[in-house]
Amino acid sequence: MMLQIPGVLTKDEVARIRALIDAAGWVDGGVTAGFQSGLAKRNRQLPEESAVAREAGAVIVAALNRHPLFVAGALPARIFPPLFNRYGVGETFGDHVDNAIRQTRDGALRIRTDLSATLFLTEPEAYDGGELTVDDTYGVHQVKLEAGDLILYPASSLHRVEAITRGERVSSFFWIQSLVRDDARRALLFDMDMAIQRAAQTLGQGDPSIVSLTGAYHNLLRMWAEP
C-alpha cells in the first residue's frame, strides 16, 4: 500500500527545519548505503550523528505521532530517527530496495523496515526531476509532493529517485517498523478504519453497527499485531 499523507509538517515547521539543516555540514550520501544501493546513490546527506539532524528529526517524529492518518496507515511500533538528504543537478539514486534491518550507529535502536517514508522539504516547482519512482505489483508510481507532505510505501518495493535537472530537492527519509508487518493485513486494517470513520459521521459513534465494526477492527489488530 502506498499512502500520501498531506500536511505532516506545517509550512512554519518546514521553514524551521530548513533553517536548521541548510547551514549544516553535508557529506556524501553513500555513508548510509548498503553495498548494492551504494553503487547507485549520488546525493548528499546529513550525518546521522549530527546534532542538527537529531533536532530536526525530533520535530518530524513529534509531528508524525500526532498525525492520525500516519498512525492509521503505518501502525508504528518504532520509527527510525529521520535522516536528511539533498539532490542537486545531475544527482540521483538508482533502482534499489531498502535494507531489511536498520540500526543506528550507536546500536541503541535496531528495527525491521516494514515501511519507507519520504517527507518532502522543497516545493515541487523549485526543481525539475527528482521524482520518487516506486515499482510495485500495480505498476510504476512517480511521486513529487508539496513541502510538508509525506509518502509512505512498503520498504520491500523497488524504487529510485530520478535525476535532478534544475534546482535542488531536500527531503527527510526514514523507516518504520509496524505493529503489523504484513502489508496486505496493514492495508486491510487501514481501509476498515477509514470506512468505520466515514460511517460514524453518518450514524454516530454510538450506533451498534459502529461499535461492532470497531470491535472487529481491534480484534483483528490484536490478532495480527507484534510487540
pLDDT tens digits, residue range 106-143? 999 999 999 999 999 999 999 999 999 999 877 899 99
CB-count exposure of residue 106 (10 Å: 0-12, 13-18, 19+):
exposed
Please check if 141 is assigned to a binding site: no
Please check if 218 is assigned to a binding site: no
CA distance 43 to 88: 7
Whether the pLDDT of residue 32 is over 90: the answer is no
Whether the pLDDT of residue 35 is over 60: the answer is no
High-pLDDT (> 70) share of the chain, %: 96
